[in-house]
Structure 1
């Protein structure tokens, strides 16, 4: 289940984007263990295990199973789940504004060695407004934020 806090923040973010003339849609939210297993297995079959684990978490390790993560789109399907989504208005708006609603782009470009995952401009993680603002201001990953002394 996706947490009500995540849902409320996402709804506020989508409404703010729409007010700015940008459509952001929810493409994927909560995933059960079984659903994540199917997705991961498909990637393993297509790419092999090492490459699959750079783009798909094994079941039991996906942020989608936490209730705090979601994948976004723009309703058109343009560049869905590919890095060219970063150039779509929904992704550029989210990258610039998601922190105001408590979200971060969880797997930012150039951070693959830190996060363990390929760049995913569509994958947002709710961390709360204060943490998201700090992460955005310092241009760091969630891993860096969690390791930094406070």
Structure 2
């Protein structure tokens, strides 16, 4: 009798143990276990084949200036056109970079082969022709600043705004994305000695007078002429020349007008940035 009762209790114990193990297994299957995400050195979190880019850390120099108007500007339809119009009302596509930037074989006021030494190929060739023509007339020109990326323009504009205030800075410096320098078709020039480079004292110099009289012969115009500030939005800059091609440059120069006046309202744009 005792032996039979002992076997009964052993069996009952085994049944209870089995039920406990079964309930534990069911609970584990119903409760998902958290998976540890694998974050690589580039800041990318990978989990079950899904990549989530973590937000990059930036400094103040790379942030957009506080200008809601700049973000809502229409964008030029053909930024690669030699006659492209870029100003305070029409901007380039975001982070636009010309595909044919080269280093023109001319004198600059600095020695380094850096970004601002470049121009688009057609403009660079025209610049070489113009510098050679000036040299024959006894005028020795030098490049000051050519192509400028949007990122670089952000830094420059923010520095000017911090120094002189944003409203004053807008009279002589462009918001990122609206600078002619970014087209690769514009360049600031000076005399070979670098005196008055990109400064108001350049006006009236032999170099400035030669440019006003002869730049169009090589396809360049004085982009921001005197007395046209209300149209261009920028103060007089006799050092800032812009390549538009010989035919158009001669027409604009002969009529004494600006690029804005030449195009009027006929510039095709898109409202999509």
TM-score, length of structure 1 as denominator length: 0.95
Out of 20, 26, 33, the residue aligned to residue 150 of structure 2 is 33
Out of 231, 239, 247, the residue aligned to residue 122 of structure 1 is 239
- The alpha carbon displacement at 1:67 in A equals 0.9
What 5-or-longer segments of structure 2 have no aligned partner?
1-100, 102-118, 267-273
1:16-71 Cα distance to aligned partner (Å, 9 max, x none): 00011001111100011121111111110111111101100011110000011000
After superposition, the Cα gap between the structure-2 partners of 1:35 and 1:148, relative to the gap in structure 1 and judged at 3 Å, is: closer
Segments of 4+ moved more than 3 angstroms: none
Q: Does 1:89 align with 2:206?
A: yes
- The alpha carbon displacement at 1:133 in A equals 0.3
Q: Does 1:54 align with 2:171?
A: yes
Count, aligned residues = 149
- The alpha carbon displacement at 1:148 in A equals 8.1
Name the structure where helix makes up a greater proportion of residues. Answer: 1
TM alignment of 1:66-77, pairs within 5 A: 66-77=183-194
C-alpha separation in 2, matches of 1:75 and 1:44: 29
What 5-or-longer segments of structure 1 have no aligned partner?
none
Q: Tell me the C-alpha RMSD between the 2 structures.
A: 1.3
Greater relative contact order (Cα < 8 A, sep 6+): 1
C-alpha separation in 2, matches of 1:71 and 1:20: 20
Q: Does 1:16 align with 2:114?
A: no
User: Which protein has the larger Cα radius of gyration, Structure 1 or Structure 2?
Assistant: 2
Q: Does 1:64 align with 2:181?
A: yes
- The alpha carbon displacement at 1:77 in A equals 2.3
SS class of match (2:168): helix
TM-score, length of structure 2 as denominator length: 0.53
Out of 192, 212, 215, the residue aligned to residue 98 of structure 1 is 215
